[in-house]
Amino acid sequence: MSKNRNFFQRAVDALVEGRTRQAERYVAQFERAHGRQHDKMKGR
């Protein structure tokens, strides 16, 4: 039983890691396309 749980836990972990890498690639692509101008705070 614990072996099945480990299998499913590993599967879920793999899905989460894949989504994390996909999100990081999307953010990097956005930053390349739009620059880092949004990171700067506007002076008041």
The predicted structure's pLDDT at residue 16: 97
State pLDDT tens for residues 1-44: 566 779 999 999 999 999 999 999 999 999 888 876 655 666 55
The predicted structure's pLDDT at residue 24: 96
Q: Over the Cα atoms of the chain, what is R_g?
A: 18
The predicted structure's pLDDT at residue 12: 95
What distances in angstroms separate CA 12 from CA 19, 22, 26, 32, 37, one per listed residue? Answer: 11, 15, 21, 30, 36
The predicted structure's pLDDT at residue 44: 56
The predicted structure's pLDDT at residue 38: 57
